[in-house]
Structure 1
Amino acid sequence: MTQPAITIRGVAKTFRVNKERNNTLKSALLRRGRSRHTEFQALKGIDLDIPQGSTFALVGDNGSGKSTLLKCLARILVPDAGTITRHGRIAAMLEVGSGFHPELSGRDNVYLNGSILGMSRREVDAKFDQIVDFSGVEDFIDQPVKNYSSGMYVRLGFSVAIHTEPEIMLVDEILAVGDASFQDKCAQKFAEFRRDGRTVVVVSHSLPQLREMADHAAYLDHGELRAHGAAEVVLEQYADAARTNIRTDDSGRVRWGTGEALVERVEILGPHGPVGEDGLRSGERTTLRIHYSARSPIPDPNLGITLDTAEGENLWACFSRDQGARLEALEGRGHVDITIPALPLQRGLYRVHAGIVGTGADDVVDFVRDIAWLHVGHGTGLDSGGPVAMSGQWQAPEPARAQAPQQEQVQEGTQS
């Protein structure tokens, strides 16, 4: 039997979370150095083998312990209990720009980061062109990295890490920052690692991405190991659990998701502002304004709206990411508008559902049904046979003109 790349036995980790801080020396002295705190168990006796040569996914909701476990594997954190046995050289890419000095150029940071990861200057010299080519930042390699975007940070840092030729690569979420082309490069590199018998352990909320690259997975929930094994099986278990996390809010509406951000309400606006009792008119400009509140920043969010008939038949669904609207992050309270230039609905009442999805298609942050009703009080007056009011332009081809048959031309020769 092949030796696992990593063996985890009984690993536990607890953090202290202070309820109050000693903001002044006086308050600290009065409390005699004591502060109120609670204990948070991030990991609860994890037993797990990570097969050699696998691309191993760690999945779970925020707070499930994924990143804590990854940091324990990277020796950044020390478990309170249990053991971790690693077989091979480890390279970790856990934070954007980790190991970079912002004032130095990309070139200098390649050498700095390479040395931190155990490469000699000669090794970096030999692989420098490959590192820069893979990262795609060759036009900016001599610029200070403080001027880099987060995506450029990730590409360069990840490129350095993979060119250290580690036996075990640890990656936490950062691939979500890269563009689609870079993610494809990474997936190809992971496949190459697997062919070479190297191991990749990756944390991501993007289930479609993990389905493409991972062959093994483990599902963590509140610090406990819920499932592990073949990736396709474990990822489906996690997706099913997320879908069944359904609840009702104070208004009795059905909603589900992690709850890190909430859709508070959807405001419906006509061309002149809020809609009155008469409702909207078919064909007029309509704006659906999604009001949200985020408990913690939601990077690269995907906001969605769906419309159903009053009977529940789905008519339309629209997501910001599909329409090319890339939102940096949702933070605090705010709103996002989606405008329909000409509302194509007949007279009637329509159900409005709204949601927020994270980086991955299955990463539902909040989705709430029947959050609003859209009232169309004035239709087109034409019977369209259903709720959709779409006009069409009719045009018939011109009648074909009769053409006289072409006669074969015969050239007569001259007689002598």
Structure 2
Amino acid sequence: MRKATEDVVRPEIVRISNVSKRFVMRKDNSLKERLVTMGRMGRRHREDFWALKDLDISIEAGTTVGLIGHNGSGKSTLLKIIGGIIDPTSGAVERRGRIAALLELGAGFHPDLTGRENVYLNASILGLSRATTEERFQDILDFASIGDFIDTQVKFYSSGMYVRLAFAVAVHTDPDLLLVDEVLAVGDEAFQRKCLDKIRAFQKEGRTIILVTHALGQVTELCSRAILLNKGQVEYDGDPRKAVSAFRDILEDRRLSDVAAVQAHSSKPSIPSGQVLGATVHSVDLQVRDGVHPGDDLQIDIRLEHPEGLTEWVCAIQIDNAMGQVVYGTTTKRLGIELPVLSGELDVQFILRDVPFGAGKYFVNVSLMDMEGIHLHDLPQACSFDVPDYPLAVGTVHARPEFSFSA
């Protein structure tokens, strides 16, 4: 199996052909219920859930692939099928080389064995001889940094200690293919940096890595390719930044659907103290929902309502990035604006000049408050906008970089 690229011919290390995976969800909760509903009647008490549907994916050696998608999209299921942990319901998976997998916390170590014993056990499962494991044991111990706990039973480890040792074993077995499923989020920041440095070293050595993570910054920084899964199918396969942007659009659509569903079933009466009816955001002179570029003037249009008339009030905006961090906020009170009486519906507008936002998705939150700062009504994530990728830098702040040096 070989696939040609523009510059080099890379062998395929994984070939996924027409793979589907079905799980059966049972609705009878007890053994008694299952016995009563055995046979034909039992079909009423179970439901098929297709975690993956007809996937065709090939992964070339030496690439770093990020699997992204919302919870339940099939990422972890696909990674387990690639690793041979579970079998597909239909289709076939071909793989080559030694595989090391960190698929979930709690998998791979025997809780009643010590860390040292588990190192030798896992290394042997991954194909290392005892002599080779002994040669690498000190490197494994140094990387894990768990000290004397290496001779303690694993069941007494914290989640962080467990991940440290599991990752240390996996990366010191010379894998051709490394599978990582979100476990790096458990370690502390120093250990995460150590893991990322090891992954970068693997990339330089030409190893293949498949990474499942919700840290989208890691996807754009580390991966040469990203596969976006949605409801068990490939939504996008290609450039990591485009995949992340498409994923954020899916998340936003889901959020809006959830909000609409809650509002449709809500029995709460309208808020008599006033409310934020809605908001839109776009660059000045551009269409609503078009991308916002650094240096643009950003326009936020807001519609407010008060049934009786509010004489003293404040309108506030707050812009958050995709991680929920506040990147900007202001109010009409800070700006020293004298507002008219809010009676019935009223449209107001903020314009932010020469915005410096870095690449990513941003959410605008709107609040109606009284002069004392008490919130009368909030509309979280009232609208959102995207800032396209900037190839020279990353982060939430845009700045054009320059560099010089002198001997």
Q: How large is the Cα RMSD of the aligned pairs?
A: 3.9
Give the match for residue 16 of structure 2: 8
Per-residue deviation, residues 234-255 of structure 1 (Å, max 9, x unmatched)? 22221233234323346749xx
Give 1:150 shift.
0.4
Give the match for residue 28 of structure 2: 20
Compared CA separation, residues 317 and 146, structure 1 to 2 (3 A): same
**Alignment pair present for 1:111 and 2:114:** no
**Equivalent residue of 2:57, what SS?**
strand
Structure 1 runs not aligned, ≥5 long: 254-264, 266-276, 278-307, 324-343, 350-361, 380-416
| Contact map agreement 1:28 1:34 (CA 8 A) in 2 | no
Give the match for residue 161 of structure 2: 152
Compared CA separation, residues 378 and 76, structure 1 to 2 (3 A): closer
Give the match for residue 126 of structure 1: 135
**Equivalent residue of 2:234, what SS?**
strand
What is the CA–CA distance in structure 1 between the aligned matches of 2:243 and 2:323, rounded to whole Å?
A: 29
Give 1:376 shift.
4.8
What code does the residue aligned with 2:35 have?
A
Give the match for residue 68 of structure 2: 59
**Equivalent residue of 2:198, what SS?**
helix
What code does the residue aligned with 2:192 have?
Q
Structure 2 runs not aligned, ≥5 long: 1-8, 274-303, 305-311, 327-333, 342-359, 375-407
What is the CA–CA distance in structure 2 between the aligned matches of 1:363 and 1:73, rounded to whole Å?
A: 31
What code does the residue aligned with 1:213 have?
L
| % identical aligned pairs | 38
What is the CA–CA distance in structure 1 between the aligned matches of 2:79 and 2:373, rounded to whole Å?
A: 58
Per-residue deviation, residues 102-140 of structure 1 (Å, max 9, x unmatched)? 233222221122222222211110000111111121242
Give 1:375 shift.
4.2
Give the match for residue 353 of structure 2: none
Alignment of 1:272-351 (within 5 A): 312-314=315-317
Give the match for residue 359 of structure 1: none
What is the CA–CA distance in structure 1 between the aligned matches of 2:204 and 2:213, rounded to whole Å?
A: 22
Give 1:83 shift.
1.6
Compared CA separation, residues 249 and 50, structure 1 to 2 (3 A): same
What is the CA–CA distance in structure 1 between the aligned matches of 2:234 and 2:105, rounded to whole Å?
A: 27
What is the CA–CA distance in structure 2 between the aligned matches of 1:53 and 1:312, rounded to whole Å?
A: 53
| Contact map agreement 2:319 2:364 (CA 8 A) in 1 | no
What is the CA–CA distance in structure 2 between the aligned matches of 1:21 and 1:369, rounded to whole Å?
A: 42
**Alignment pair present for 1:89 and 2:89:** no
What is the CA–CA distance in structure 1 between the aligned matches of 2:88 and 2:128, rounded to whole Å?
A: 28
**Alignment pair present for 1:76 and 2:79:** no
Alignment of 1:163-242 (within 5 A): 163-242=172-251
What is the CA–CA distance in structure 1 between the aligned matches of 2:321 and 2:12, rounded to whole Å?
A: 45
What code does the residue aligned with 2:128 have?
M
What is the CA–CA distance in structure 2 between the aligned matches of 1:6 and 1:378, rounded to whole Å?
A: 58
What code does the residue aligned with 2:31 have?
N
| Contact map agreement 2:68 2:227 (CA 8 A) in 1 | yes
Per-residue deviation, residues 177-201 of structure 1 (Å, max 9, x unmatched)? 1122222122221122122121010
**Equivalent residue of 1:154, what SS?**
helix
Identify which of 95, 98, 108 aligns with 2:107: 98
What is the CA–CA distance in structure 2 between the aligned matches of 1:186 and 1:102, rounded to whole Å?
A: 24
| Residues matched between the structures, number | 295
Give 1:37 shift.
0.7
What is the CA–CA distance in structure 2 between the aligned matches of 1:181 and 1:378, rounded to whole Å?
A: 40
**Equivalent residue of 2:236, what SS?**
strand
Compared CA separation, residues 91 and 105, structure 1 to 2 (3 A): same
What is the CA–CA distance in structure 1 between the aligned matches of 2:182 and 2:373, rounded to whole Å?
A: 49
What is the CA–CA distance in structure 1 between the aligned matches of 2:188 and 2:248, rounded to whole Å?
A: 24
What is the CA–CA distance in structure 2 between the aligned matches of 1:17 and 1:316, rounded to whole Å?
A: 41
Compared CA separation, residues 34 and 368, structure 1 to 2 (3 A): farther
Give 1:311 shift.
6.2
**Equivalent residue of 1:88, what SS?**
coil
**Equivalent residue of 1:20, what SS?**
coil
| Contact map agreement 1:99 1:112 (CA 8 A) in 2 | no
Compared CA separation, residues 345 and 120, structure 1 to 2 (3 A): farther
What is the CA–CA distance in structure 2 between the aligned matches of 1:378 and 1:56, rounded to whole Å?
A: 47
Give the match for residue 54 of structure 2: 45
**Equivalent residue of 1:103, what SS?**
coil
What is the CA–CA distance in structure 1 between the aligned matches of 2:240 and 2:178, rounded to whole Å?
A: 18
What is the CA–CA distance in structure 2 between the aligned matches of 1:4 and 1:207, rounded to whole Å?
A: 25
What is the CA–CA distance in structure 2 between the aligned matches of 1:110 and 1:203, rounded to whole Å?
A: 24
What code does the residue aligned with 1:65 have?
G
What code does the residue aligned with 2:166 have?
G
Per-residue deviation, residues 252-291 of structure 1 (Å, max 9, x unmatched)? 49xxxxxxxxxxx9xxxxxxxxxxx9xxxxxxxxxxxxxx
What is the CA–CA distance in structure 2 between the aligned matches of 1:56 and 1:203, rounded to whole Å?
A: 9
**Equivalent residue of 1:237, what SS?**
helix
| Contact map agreement 2:315 2:368 (CA 8 A) in 1 | no
| Contact map agreement 2:111 2:153 (CA 8 A) in 1 | yes
